[in-house]
Amino acid sequence: MCNTVNLPGGGYAIVCGGHNRKVRKCACGKVAALLCDWPIGGGKTCDKPVCQDCAVKGGPNVDFCPSHERLKL
Ligand SMILES: [Zn+2]
Ligand SMILES: [Zn+2]
């Protein structure tokens, strides 16, 4: 979802990403669109930012970072 934001002094900026303001980066340097869903206990997940190329599907809406995907096997 993208929004157009008017800048003071004219012009505008296009802001995308909705609630996620901070741009997270994957270990490979790309923008991370996903977070690792590997459970680390206490109801928390790894949350390591991973891009779509590096993320490994664990199921619908479940993605793992490459290091945790290795543990799964
Ligand atoms: Zn990556
Ligand atoms: Zn992980």
Taking alpha carbons only, the member of 61, 60, 46 closest to residue 69 is: 46
Res 15 pLDDT > 80: no
Task: State the distance from the centre of ligand 1 to the C-alpha of 26, rounded, in angstroms.
Answer: 5
Overall domain count for the chain: 1
| Rounded average pLDDT over 44-49 | 95
Is 11 part of a structural domain of the chain?
Answer: no
Mean pLDDT of the chain: 87
Domain range enclosing 64: 21-72
Backbone angles phi, psi at 65, to 5 degrees: -75, 160
Task: State the distance from the centre of ligand 2 to the C-alpha of 4, rounded, in angstroms.
Answer: 34
* pTM greater than 0.85: no
Which ligand has an atom closest to residue 32 CA?
Answer: 1
pLDDT of residue 8: 83
Task: State the distance from the centre of ligand 1 to the C-alpha of 5, rounded, in angstroms.
Answer: 29
Is 32 part of a structural domain of the chain?
Answer: yes
